[in-house]
Amino acid sequence: MSVTVKKTIPVVIVAVVAFIVMMDYFLLTPPVDVAGKSWTSTTVTNLQNWGVILTAFALGFGAVNLFYFHSKHISRRTPGQWMYSLWLLIVIVIFTGIGVFTGPTSDQYSWLYNASYFALSATVYSSLGFYMTSGLYRALRFKNVESGIFLVVGFIVLARNAPAFAVYFPVLRVWGSFISDVLTTSAQRGIMIGGALGAISLGIRTMTGRETGFLGKLTEEERGGGIE
Amino acid sequence: MLIIIWIFILGGMELAKKKLPPFRKLTGLDALPEMVGRAAEMNKPVHFTTGLGSLTESVAPQLVAGLAVLAHVAELCANYGVKLIYSVYQAQVMPIATELIKEAYVKAGKPEEFIAEESVRYLSGEQFAYASAVQGIAERERPAANIMIGPFYAESMLFAETFSRIGSIQLAGTARGYQIPFFAVICDYLLIGEEIYAAGAYLSRDPLQAGTIMGQDFGKALALILMILGVLITALGSSFIVDLLGM
Residue in A197, A204, A223 to test binding to B, most B beta-carbons within 10 Å: A197
Residues of chain B scoring pLDDT < 50 = none
Q: pLDDT digits over A4-20, tens only?
A: 777 788 888 888 988 88
Between residues 157 and 176 of chain B, which touch chain A (CB distance below 8 Å)? 157-158, 160-162, 164, 175
Say yes or no: B48 and B146 in one domain: yes
**Cα Dmax for chain B:** 70
Say yes or no: B216 and B199 in one domain: no
Exposed/middle/buried for residue B126 (C-beta within 10 Å: 0-12, 13-18, 19+):
middle
Three-class SS state of B86: strand
Say yes or no: B134 and B199 in one domain: yes
- Give yes or no for residue A166 having a pLDDT over 50: yes
B236 falls within a domain: yes
What is the side-by-side strand order in the sheet with B84-88?
B120-122, B84-88, B46-49, B145-149, B169-174, B189-192
What range does the domain containing B224 cover? 211-244
B48 falls within a domain: yes
Name the residue type at position B225. I
Q: pLDDT digits over B162-216, tens only?
A: 999 999 999 999 999 889 989 988 999 999 988 998 888 888 777 777 888 888 8
Say yes or no: B164 and B231 in one domain: no
B2 falls within a domain: no
Q: Give the residue from chain A lying closest to B116, CA to CA.
A: A65
B6 falls within a domain: no
Q: pLDDT digits over A112-155, tens only?
A: 999 999 999 999 999 999 998 888 888 777 888 888 888 899 88
Element (H, E) at B162: helix B155-165
Alpha-carbon dihedral sign for residues A10, A12, A15, A21? negative
Say yes or no: B99 and B199 in one domain: yes
CATH of the domain at B30: 3.40.50
For residues A42 and B205, the model is more confident at A42
Q: pLDDT digits over B116-134, tens only?
A: 889 999 999 899 999 999 9
Residue whose C-alpha is closest to residue B88's, from B125, B62, B143: B125
Residue in A22, A89, A202 to test binding to B, most B beta-carbons within 10 Å: A202
Count of domains for chain B: 2
